[in-house]
């Protein structure tokens, strides 16, 4: 047991050492450069997930069927940096008034790195596409999809249910709460190519609807920012001990697939996953301003009406560039437009740790000001002439 103490002290000293700090910062800089260059092939989200939010960066050699670890990922380097700064703070700095600034600076750096972990774990990026005069009470995910089940029996009141794509694994039987329906997943494709069947094609995945005449070919998932997955699923509706055949549902199919159970009409479709809000936004007017005599955009803005009956809140809000709407934990940014300037696309971000970077930068600034202020005051005190002897 005694022999382990020197090893533990050496490990503690190494963890708190300045070379570990320098190496960690250098690795982070290399990861930032590699992540920036990789965005051309992987897209923004793919590059960030591969390099900055992973423990290890993997490489897939062409001739080997498995991946190889080639570099520490941003999550691992960030964790080491947090432990290094914490150990250095506990080991090297005494809690004295003259070192208060250094304590605050280190606390700000630790909080800055920890904030990135919080963002990667809890931030949810969605969007809201809304046309002039339209009222919307949901946001849609950029990357997650869902199997939408719509009860269209009453044309004036459609009831919708969503099954997240994470549950759509082959062989699963998924009940839909609030309905007599369950769905057996036959096949699921994150991305696929759909084509009309010919005689030489294998049997179709579906035996009902338009899917009976379609061949599905798996495709690699989309990674670039300008690519979109054609998410496709073959499902078998089950209700009352009866099967309604196998239906092919895909984002590439223009119309939903519909069937009737005991007089109720149901429609199936695949769409971006929706998150419903306890309030609504109505787009009153979208403005697309350009500089006079040019097509260069000058400003995009959306005048929306916010309605929240639960809080008795009714008000108009103008959302424009660098002036988002922050409401109930979500931030609505003006992102894009379409349909002849009648459609506004808002980027909606839910990030519980959005204040952490601001707080950490404020702590670092205050710590540096305190440290240099205390050092300057001490230097001025030492330079004062000694009183003359009588």
How does pLDDT run across 340-350, given as a tens digit for each residue? 889 999 999 99
d(CA 297, CA 8): 61
Phi, psi of 238 (to 5 degrees): -125, 135
Residue 241 lies in a domain: yes
- Of the pLDDT bands very low, low, confident and very high (cuts 50, 70, 90), residue 235 is very high
> Is pLDDT above 70 for 3?
no
**Same domain flag for 49 and 78:** yes
- Is residue 388 in some structural domain? no
What's the whole-number mean pLDDT along residues 199-227?
88
Residue 1 pLDDT more than 50? no
Q: Final residue of a domain: which of 250, 274, 298?
A: 274
**pLDDT of res. 44:** 81
Domain count along the chain: 3
Instruction: With CA atoms as reference, report the closest residue to 256 among 269, 240, 266.
Output: 269
Query: Do 299 and 265 fall into the same domain?
Result: no
Taking all residues of the chain, what is their mean pLDDT, rounded to a whole number? 88
pLDDT of 281 strictly over 90: yes
Q: State whether 160 and 95 are in the same domain.
A: no
92 and 46 in a single domain? The answer is yes
**What per-residue confidence (pLDDT) applies to 388?**
67
The pLDDT assigned to 387 comes to: 64
Q: Is there a contact between 234 and 186 (Cβ–Cβ < 8 Å)?
A: yes
Domain shared by 155 and 256, yes or no: yes
Q: Is the confidence at residue 334, as pLDDT, over 90?
A: yes
pLDDT digits (tens, 9 = 90+) for 25-37: 999 999 999 999 9
pLDDT in tens, 216-232: 999 988 877 677 889 99
Band the pLDDT of 381: cuts 50, 70, 90: confident
pLDDT over 90, % of the chain: 53
- State residue 83 phi and psi, 5-degree precision: -65, -40
For residues 161-183, average pLDDT: 91
Do residue 149 and residue 266 come from a single domain? yes
Phi first, then psi, for residue 381 (nearest 5°) are -65, -40
The domain of 107 spans 4-123+355-383
Range with lowest mean pLDDT among 226-230, 234-238, 247-251, 260-264: 226-230
Claim to verify: residue 117 and residue 35 sit in the same structural domain: yes
User: What pLDDT does residue 215 have?
Assistant: 94
pLDDT value for 380: 82
Q: Mean pLDDT over residues 258-265, rounded?
A: 92
Same domain, residue pair 250 and 150: yes
Question: Of 274, 290, 310, which residue sits at a domain end?
Answer: 274
Does 196 have pLDDT greater than 80? yes
Q: Quick check: is 220 in a domain?
A: yes
Average pLDDT over residues 228-249: 93
Mean pLDDT of 236-257: 92
Same domain, 172 and 221: yes
Span 7-16, average pLDDT: 84
Q: How far apart are CA 17 and CA 186, in angstroms?
A: 56
In a domain, 225, yes or no: yes
Q: Which among 230, 231, 257 is positioned nearest to 246, based on CA atoms?
A: 257
Mean per-residue pLDDT, 332-354:
91
The backbone region for 240, taken as left when phi is positive above 0, alpha when psi lies in -120 to 50, beta otherwise, is left
pLDDT higher than threshold 80 for residue 141: yes
**How, if at all, do strands 242-243 and 264-290 pair?**
unpaired
Greater model confidence, 248 or 2:
248
Total residue count of the chain as it appears in this document: 390
The upper half-sphere exposure of residue 115, i.e. CA atoms within 13 Å in the direction of its Cβ, equals: 16
One domain, residues 103 and 206: no
Looking at residue 232, its pLDDT comes to 95
Whether the predicted pLDDT of 277 surpasses 90: yes
Mean pLDDT, range 63-74, rounded to an integer: 87
Give domain status of residue 205, yes or no.
yes
Residues 338 and 309 reside in one and the same domain:
yes
Question: For residue 234, what pLDDT is reported?
Answer: 95
Residue 237 pLDDT greater than 60, yes or no: yes
Higher pLDDT, 312 or 115: 312
């Amino acid at each position: 047991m005694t022999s382990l103490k020197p090893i533990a002290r050496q490990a503690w000293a190494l963890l708190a050492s300045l070379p570990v700090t320098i190496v960690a910062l250098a690795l982070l800089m290399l990861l930032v450069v590699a992540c920036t260059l990789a965005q051309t092939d992987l897209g923004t989200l793919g590059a960030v997930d591969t390099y900055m939010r992973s423990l290890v960066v993997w490489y897939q050699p062409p001739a080997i069927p498995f991946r190889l670890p080639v570099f520490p990922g941003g999550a691992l380097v960030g964790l080491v940096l947090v432990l290094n700064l914490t150990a250095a703070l506990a080991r090297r700095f005494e809690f004295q008034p003259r070192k208060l600034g250094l304590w605050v600076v280190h606390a700000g750096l630790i909080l800055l790195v920890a904030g990135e972990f919080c963002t990667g774990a809890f931030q949810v990026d969605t969007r809201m596409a809304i046309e002039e005069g339209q009222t919307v009470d949901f946001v849609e995910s950029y990357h997650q999809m869902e199997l939408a089940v719509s009860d269209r029996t009453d044309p004036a009141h459609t009831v919708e249910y969503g099954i997240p794509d994470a549950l759509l694994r082959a062989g699963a039987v998924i009940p839909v709460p609030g309905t007599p329906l369950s769905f057996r997943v036959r096949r699921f494709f994150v991305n696929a190519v759909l084509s009309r069947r010919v005689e030489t094609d294998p049997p179709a995945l579906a035996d009902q609807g338009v899917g009976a005449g379609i061949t599905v070919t798996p495709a690699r998932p989309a990674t670039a920012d300008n690519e979109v997955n054609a998410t496709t699923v073959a499902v078998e509706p089950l209700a009352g001990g009866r099967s309604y055949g196998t239906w092919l549902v895909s984002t590439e199919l223009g119309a939903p697939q519909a069937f009737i159970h005991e007089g109720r009409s149901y429609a199936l479709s695949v769409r971006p996953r929706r998150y419903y809000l306890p309030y609504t936004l109505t787009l009153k007017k979208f403005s697309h301003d350009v500089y006079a005599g040019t097509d260069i955009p000058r400003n995009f803005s959306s005048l929306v009406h916010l309605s929240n009956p639960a809080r008795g809140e009714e008000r108009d809000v103008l959302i424009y560039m660098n002036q988002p709407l922050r409401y109930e934990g979500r931030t609505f940014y003006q992102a894009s437009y379409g349909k002849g300037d009648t459609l506004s696309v808002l980027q909606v971000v839910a990030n519980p740790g959005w204040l952490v970077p601001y707080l950490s930068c404020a702590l670092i600034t205050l710590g540096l000001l305190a440290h240099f202020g205390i050092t300057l005051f001490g230097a001025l005190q030492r330079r004062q002439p000694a009183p003359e002897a009588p």
